[in-house]
Amino acid sequence: MTNSGSDAKRLKSPYDNANIVSRYIYWWLKDLFKIGLKRQIIEDDISECSQKHTSDKVTRHFEMLWEEEMLKPKPSLIRVATKVFWLKVIIVGFFFAIFETFCKLANPLLLGLLIGFFTTNPNNFSNNDAYLIATGIVLTLGLPLLFFHPFMLFLFEEGMKLRIACCSLIYSKILTFTKYAMKDGIAGQAVNLMSNDVSRFDWLMSFTHDFWRPPIAAGIAAYFIYQQVEFAGLLGMAILLLFMPLQGWLGRKSANVRLDTAKRTDNRVKSMFSIITGIQVIKMYGWENAFAKTVNNIRKFELRAIAKGYYIRATLLSLVFLTSFAVFATFVTYVLMGNSITSEKAFVTIAYFNYVRNVLVEFWPMAVTSVAEGWVSLRRVEEFLSQKVPSKSGNIDLNKKNVRIQSLQNGIFMRNATAYWNSDGQDNIGIMSCDIEIDKKNVVCIIGQVGSGKTTLLEVILKEIPLVDGELDVNGVISYASQKAWIFEGSIRNNILFTEKYDEKRYKTVLHVCALERDLELFPKDDATIVGDRGISLSGGQKARINLARAVYKNADIYLLDDPLSAVDAHVSKHIFQKCIKDFLKDKICVLVTHQLQYLHEVDHIIVMSMGQIKTQGSYDYIKENDYAMLYANDENFINSNARVDSPTDEEESLDVPKSVTKEDQEGNGKETVSKETQQEGKVTSAIYMAYIKAVNSGIFVFFVALLFIIAQALQGTVDYFVSIWITWEETYGDRNMTSSDDNLTIWDGEWWTTEKYIYLYSIFIGALLLLIVSRSFAFYRMCLRVAVNLHDRLFRGVTRATMWFYNQNSSGRIINRFSKDIGTIDSMLPVVIVDCIQFFLQLATVVTIVAIINPWLLIPTLFMFIIFYGLRYIFLTTARNIKRVEAITRSPLFAHTTTSIEGLSTIRAFNAEMQSRNEFYEYQNINSSAWFLFVATSRGFAFWLDIICLLYVTCVVYSFLLLGSDFVGANVGLAITQAINLIGMCNWGLRQTAELENQMTSVERVDEYANVTSERKLETDQNILAKMVKPWPQKGIIKFNNLSLKYSDTSDCILRNLNFTIHEREKLGIIGRTGAGKSSIIQAIFQLAHTDGTIEIDDVNINNLGLHTFRQKINIIPQDPVLFVGSLRHNLDPFDEKTDDEIWHVLEQVELKHAIKLLAGGLETKVSDGGSNFSMGQRYDSFIVMDFLCNAIYIVLLCKIQNKY
């Protein structure tokens, strides 16, 4: 369908060609890292998708099982995912979890033995024994690392495969939706599922085993804790276990909140999709504030759900305090029971509590939340995939011969056919009791008033709307040209060929009969010129003719052409009718919906529609002889007037561009206005971090939150060091009688202290720590909520206030990507990463400080470790950040392809192009999957080498105490080694999170980019200018063009040059000209939608000096492409909610739309589908007339297209 990014020119995946050693140590990534160090990594550097990860291979088995599942009464996507992915994840993970748990639980026991070597009462260990114990500590830390990273990469692979499969199924499901089924904002929902929901699957698998393992591991750890401190240890464990129900409840609550948030996000994305699609209408009517209010209300409800999620996370973040409190309760209880605490007992107990904290307090809540949210996302995808698609009406495939028909001729046979927009018939009327028999090679015209059912009749034939009664048989291959021209992003030739092979003779003939030859000569790259997903580099007439050429180029038996002549001028219209419809398709069945009544006498059969029924049908003479001749009473003058223009002698010349018209003069001259998505270079700048901080809108609040984190961590380090001091005191003085003390002793004397004093001080520290940790958690997420509010508001303002050139440069999918994926990242994922990074740096500072105090010699390996860390991080980030950016860029075409496919579903199915569209989706997804896997692999490689460095550092710490002698205090040795061991997991996670922070900050970067795009001038006029204007303004509506020139951007060529003319009061002015001559550009100049030189004056007021709303809201227009917005019909007619229902009904009656709206079950509250697709094109035009009449100050009405109103 489009010029999709094929893998044909890409390098083979290095992962597929790597041997086991290369994969294990991530050596296969070396070439990519080399490129990253030399220059910016771009999309072309991304290799082919690994054969294991291609969409076709991943989806095939998954889709087959889902189809089998759909046959069951209650199909479950979770069952399918379990069969395909989770079974092997669970089996492999089970054995790894057992091995890792064994090593983790054995490590504290060995630590206790080593501490015993340094106590005042050593356990008669020899030096050799001590070295063996130290080696055991290193091995129990190192062996799990050998398997951990390959295992984690495997889990990420499986999560990615689940995402790929679900995205593929979502897209395939979209291709099955008929127009009938597309009424409820499917586009926005699909984009949100593909961007936000399925992205959770990437991480889901990595937490799977942390969902079931922690309780078991914690139970085993509790046994070892009991061995050390008896029943006091069980008290500490009880404290942790008592909070498990709270964690479980919070996990379930998180799932509910996630579901609520996702639904509200769906609504926002649907609304944004509608706004972006109709942004030109919004700007011309000055509705920015009305739609901003709508989006703000939707966002407000979304933020309430997000805030609930934040409070849950803040509570879970506060639970890290539990370990300190459990240790406090254990030690105090143990001492108060009359026992003496020793270094060995204390730090073995602390090590086990740290392990329990790691698995039970930190990872288990994350796993519960991740699994819960993943379950919700799977259910949402399941709900989408399980939607029932109405069975197609009729009995045959559109592209196969129908054996039921007795005649061998091609044709359309409809008997007593009735169809509605929904199954209960309470929505828009479709067709009722229609009988059609077309079995000859002739031209059939369908005519009728606005909303009479002409387009619906074609859609019933295409089986886009199901029959509720009657029969439909179609015999022959169908080709179709939709009423709204569908142009996808790609070359003009690809848009015309679509599914067909290139036949030069037929192709050139089609260009001629569709009057496209002269247009292509003016395009810079002829038919290789790239056009956008909305045909944004083309005029309306050019889009319509390319849309027609696509239908005509296909060698079909039946051609359904829905009003293809309405967007072209009279000369081109006559050429197309004569050369294309009458001559080129003379041996075919051609069903033409039209409002061009001047051609009726030349067609073979006429069908007259009214209110969804066929009022009559027959030849032109038959229609003329009956009562329906009144339809054409006023048409003869129109035909005669056209005859003066379309004389046979100059017909061909009329299709040529006048010599005075050049390429530069052509409106929509086919320049490649759709630019490639910008990829930022280098690291994320400090300006982006400052933009995030500034989004808090309070420097004092940011400082307060930072201070809370610093004080809390400093106090945490103080508590850890205080425990070491207390234990040392207990070992030194604890066995003496301290009930009385010498008055001459001071606080610096060991004899001054008592156990009671240590307990009192310990209690004060713990209480203060609790207060600080809870305060910092809730304050931090409150700060993140402010950021979420302000960044979205900035993005919305930036996009809605952007110039139309911005929309010409960027596809809808690209813009929607910011509002879905990037805002979703900022809302939900970025806060978690930020808090991880803050805690990592503070904890690292604490560990280094404690270790340096105990053994200053360790500063040397610490310095080397930091240097290596910095080098590894630099190498990783220079590559990973660019891969992440490329991944984001390659994601946009997925959304663009999806939204474009939704807009052209009828055409795709009519051309039997579902498989082609799906394959192109697979190609886009393969590129994105390759980029994502490279990002994940580089992250895992970074983590692997970080763990190796940390392991070497722990080895230095452990052996340093043995090499430097046995003068160290056992408590200090235990504290130093315990803190150093924490570095392994902490540095791995923390440094990767710092890298992930920069990667996720690219979402802030992308949002900031669109928030700061070039905007239009201000909306409101300065008061001093308003004071000088005559009130009311305008009074007469006189428009003067003074030397006006127009171009779409500062760097583009002029479309209009030095126009000088005046539109007088009450004057009716017709603007004529060939397609692309600049008619629509004059309208854009009046509405200031493009860059202009010269002036336009309305009632002697230069509009260049006015705010945009001041004059836009005084000028009403019926746009060339009438777009309605998702929401109620009433909101579309009266966005500011200023009119009463009676006033609206009165205007509806004036434009003869009242009866049609009365027939709708919802009346004015009827829900409007994306773009207004559940209303006919004529009804949409009428709706804009209603909007114009409802405005109190209508002075000028500009009609861009009126042909299909009659």
Do 238 and 107 lie in one domain? The reply is: yes
In a domain, 59, yes or no: yes
Whether omega for the bond prior to residue 1034 falls within 30 degrees of 0, making it cis, is: yes
Do 213 and 337 lie in one domain? The reply is: yes
In a domain, 127, yes or no: yes
Confidence band, pLDDT 50/70/90 cuts, at residue 635:
very low
Neighbours of 967 (CB within 10 A): 7
pLDDT at 882 over 80: yes
Confidence band, pLDDT 50/70/90 cuts, at residue 308:
very high
Do 85 and 133 lie in one domain? The reply is: yes
pLDDT at 647 over 60: no
pLDDT in tens, 211-261: 788 888 988 999 999 999 989 988 988 888 888 788 778 877 887 888 888
Give mean pLDDT, residues 491-511: 93
Neighbours of 121 (CB within 10 A): 10
3-state DSSP assignment of residue 562: strand
pLDDT at 407 over 70: no
**Rounded Cα gap, residues 663 and 522, in angstroms:** 5
Give mean pLDDT, residues 1018-1036: 84
The pLDDT, as a whole number, for residue 1090 is 86
Q: Identify the weakest region by mean pLDDT among 490-494, 573-577, 679-683, 904-908.
A: 679-683
Tokens of 751: 């004899």
Do 1052 and 1166 lie in one domain? The reply is: no
**Rounded Cα gap, residues 280 and 283, in angstroms:** 5
CA 1025 to each of CA 349, 1019, 1107: distance values in angstroms, whole numbers, following the listed order:
77, 14, 10
The pLDDT, as a whole number, for residue 360 is 80
Confidence band, pLDDT 50/70/90 cuts, at residue 8:
very low
pLDDT in tens, 690-728: 999 999 999 999 999 999 999 999 998 888 888 888 887
pLDDT in tens, 105-147: 998 999 888 887 777 555 566 778 888 988 999 999 889 888 8
590 close to 443: Cβ distance less than 8 angstroms: yes
Do 718 and 803 lie in one domain? The reply is: yes
Whether omega for the bond prior to residue 14 falls within 30 degrees of 0, making it cis, is: no
The pLDDT, as a whole number, for residue 85 is 84
Please name the residues in contact with 259: beta carbons below 8 A apart, sequence gap of 6 or more.
376, 379, 380
3-state DSSP assignment of residue 1167: strand
**Rounded Cα gap, residues 1070 and 825, in angstroms:** 50
pLDDT in tens, 1096-1131: 998 888 998 899 988 888 888 877 778 888 888 888
In a domain, 169, yes or no: yes
Calculate ∠ Cα 189-482-273, nearest 5°.
Answer: 25
Do 367 and 481 lie in one domain? The reply is: no
Please name the residues in contact with 771: beta carbons below 8 A apart, sequence gap of 6 or more.
none
The pLDDT, as a whole number, for residue 120 is 52
Using DSSP bridges, classify how beta strands 605-610 and 443-448 pair: parallel, antiparallel or unpaired. parallel
The pLDDT, as a whole number, for residue 900 is 86
The pLDDT, as a whole number, for residue 56 is 93
Q: What is the CATH number of the domain that holds 480?
A: 3.40.50.300
pLDDT in tens, 925-974: 999 999 999 999 998 898 888 888 888 888 888 888 888 765 666 667 77
3-state DSSP assignment of residue 46: coil
Confidence band, pLDDT 50/70/90 cuts, at residue 751:
low
Calculate ∠ Cα 979-982-988, nearest 5°.
Answer: 140
**Domains contained in the chain, number:** 4
pTM of the prediction? 0.74
The domain in which residue 1187 lies consists of 1111-1206
Q: Identify the weakest region by mean pLDDT among 337-341, 404-408, 687-691, 747-751.
A: 404-408
Calculate ∠ Cα 47-52-53, nearest 5°.
Answer: 65
Do 973 and 1117 lie in one domain? The reply is: no
Confidence band, pLDDT 50/70/90 cuts, at residue 429:
low
Final residue of a domain: which of 1066, 1084, 1106?
1106
DSSP secondary-structure letter at 184? S
Final residue of a domain: which of 1064, 1088, 1106?
1106
Do 424 and 463 lie in one domain? The reply is: yes
Final residue of a domain: which of 594, 629, 649?
649
Whether omega for the bond prior to residue 1032 falls within 30 degrees of 0, making it cis, is: yes
**Rounded Cα gap, residues 692 and 369, in angstroms:** 26
Confidence band, pLDDT 50/70/90 cuts, at residue 627:
low
Do 377 and 476 lie in one domain? The reply is: no
Confidence band, pLDDT 50/70/90 cuts, at residue 731:
confident
Do 1054 and 1072 lie in one domain? The reply is: yes
Q: For the purposes of burial, counting CB atoms within 10 Å of the CB of 663, is it exposed (0-12), middle (13-18) or buried (19 or more)?
A: middle
Calculate ∠ Cα 453-457-462, nearest 5°.
Answer: 145
DSSP secondary-structure letter at 646? S
Q: Identify the weakest region by mean pLDDT among 614-628, 943-957, 1144-1158, 1190-1204.
A: 1190-1204
- Amino acid at the residue 753: W
Tokens of 340: 């003496």
Percent of the chain with pLDDT over 90: 26
**Rounded Cα gap, residues 953 and 900, in angstroms:** 54
Tokens of 954: 């722990």
pLDDT in tens, 1069-1087: 788 776 667 777 888 888 8
pLDDT at 835 over 60: yes
Q: What is the CATH number of the domain that holds 901?
A: 1.20.1560.10
pLDDT in tens, 965-992: 656 666 677 778 887 787 776 777 787 7
**Rounded Cα gap, residues 937 and 156, in angstroms:** 9
Do 775 and 842 lie in one domain? The reply is: yes
Task: Provide the β-strand partners of residue 1059.
Answer: 1044
| SS3 of 673-735 | CCCCCCCCCCCCCHHHHHHHHHCCCCHHHHHHHHHHHHHHHHHHHHHHHHHHHHHHHHHHHCC
Please name the residues in contact with 568: beta carbons below 8 A apart, sequence gap of 6 or more.
515, 541, 544, 545, 576, 1075
1165 close to 1132: Cβ distance less than 8 angstroms: no
**Rounded Cα gap, residues 421 and 433, in angstroms:** 15
In a domain, 5, yes or no: no
Helix (H) or strand (E) holding 445: strand 443-448
Q: Identify the weakest region by mean pLDDT among 35-49, 586-600, 1041-1055.
A: 1041-1055
Average pLDDT score over the chain: 82
Confidence band, pLDDT 50/70/90 cuts, at residue 390:
low
3-state DSSP assignment of residue 887: helix
User: How many Cα atoms are found within 13 Å in the side-chain-facing hemisphere of 1087?
Assistant: 25
The pLDDT, as a whole number, for residue 400 is 41
The pLDDT, as a whole number, for residue 533 is 58
Do 1115 and 1098 lie in one domain? The reply is: no
In a domain, 1084, yes or no: yes
Neighbours of 330 (CB within 10 A): 27
The pLDDT, as a whole number, for residue 966 is 56
Tokens of 1090: 């493009």
Which carries the bigger pLDDT value, residue 779 or residue 665? 779
